Amino acid sequence: MKQRTIKKEISIEGIGLQTGEMVRMVLKPASIDYGIQFVRGSTKIPAKLEYVVSADREIILEKGRVRVRTIEHLLAALACFSISNLIIELDGEEPPILDGSALGFVELIRSIGIEEQEEWQKVLTIEDTIRIEEKKRSLVLLPSEKFKITYTISFDHPMIGTESTSFEMNEKRFIEEIAPARTFGFLDEVEELRKRGLAKGGSLENAIVIDTNGIINKEALRFPDELARHKILDLLGDLSLLGYPLKGEIAAYCSGHSMNIRLANMLAERIKNKDRRIKIEGGEKMIDAKNILGILPHRYPFLLVDRILEMEKGKKAIGLKNVSINEEFFCGHFPGHPVMPGVLIIEAMAQVAGVLVLSEPENRGKLVYFAGLDKVRFRKPVTPGDQLKLEIIPVKIKKKVGVCEGKAYVGEDLVAEATLLFSVAER
């Protein structure tokens, strides 16, 4: 999906849940790759995990001595619309609580509209089961082509007990089924919370309050499982701090903010360590064969890249080559025992590097020539039916020359690697 922001500036005012003070919030469009940032005075606080200082009953971000808090409902609404770039100006510590759900934020954003931007978002795909447990609580991530959440709550309270709900998430479903679900609490906790300086703005207008006899609000539950749905809302807001939309299934049992953030930090660590149980997809546009023809001069039978799966300008390119028995070179290499020539695997790497370099505006229409090869190694043979994944990492790129590290994989197996030296020239 493309990166997104809002079409124009908009503001809203209301009471803060924790402080009980009136606060004004202004949402402003932001440029490509800006991210989501809270602004208080001259301080900008990115909505990122590294700024989380508390995940007890709310999410608190802090930079220097400036903090923002109770941001999870707003972040869930932004995640619903896949908004990746936004400026959030606050004249207090927290966004207004509104009615205790995300519905007010959803309606605010819908009133001004979404603007798609030129660059592409990255998506975090779950490739294998990931689980965390803590006492009787758990969070499990499972591979799936869809984004699905199943949430179960269990309270030792006569009016709640165990409650479970499940949704395949999309924008429409979030707006209709999740966004209206309100935050909740217990009457016997209110006094203790206020002694701790919390929930000063809480009321029956912005929270479901439960005592031993049931819900004391005049308004009935909006859904029979509203409490579990609100937990899904919190989970979406918390995980958005990871910075990537998720593709996979989540099964949650009694998790709260602290466990949600613990899971997000675990995923962030695995991204950093390039753990193959998760995968980052997208970034810039996934370039297909038709678009590759507009970048590279190569043509049949010497075009050896079928698709660019991922590309970050000046940082990385990942290409795909489907190896077919119909390739011309298999006629003579070798009859009865087809093996892809190693030099063509290196050539395929070089073509991915060529797409990376020639995609830059200043290099459009130019040519990339081999200038040298170093540290070439062939690890395993490549045969018909294999799918080559070609990874290119620039080491040094100047105006007319450059060096890249290239690796070729079939599945998880490294089949070839090399250091590629090249020059850029006019046609």
- Give the dihedral sign, CA 334/339/342/345: positive
- Give the dihedral sign, CA 326/330/335/340: negative
Q: What is the DSSP string of 83-136?
A: ---EEEEESSSS---TTSSSHHHHHHHHHH-EEEEEEE-EEEEE-S-EEEEETT
Q: Using an 8 Å Cβ cutoff, are 366 and 427 in contact? A: yes
**Parallel, antiparallel or unpaired: strands 401-410 and 387-397:** antiparallel
Task: Find the catalytic residue in 73, 157, 298, 333.
Answer: 333
Burial class (CB in 10 A: 0-12, 13-18, 19+), 215: middle
β-pair partners for 116: 4
- What strands, in cross-sheet order, belong to the sheet with 66-69? 52-54, 60-63, 66-69
> Helix or strand or coil: residue 190?
helix
- The secondary structure of residue 182, as a DSSP letter, is P
* 257 counts as catalytic: yes
**Ranges assigned E (strand) in 193-275:** 208-211, 214-215, 246-253
- Rounded CA gap, 2 and 421, in Å? 33
Task: Find the catalytic residue in 73, 157, 230, 257.
Answer: 257
* 333 counts as catalytic: yes
User: What are the tokens at 176?
Assistant: 């209709």
CB atoms within 10 A of CB 404: 25
**Ranges assigned E (strand) in 254-366:** 278-282, 307-312, 316-322
**Active-site residues: which are they?**
257, 333
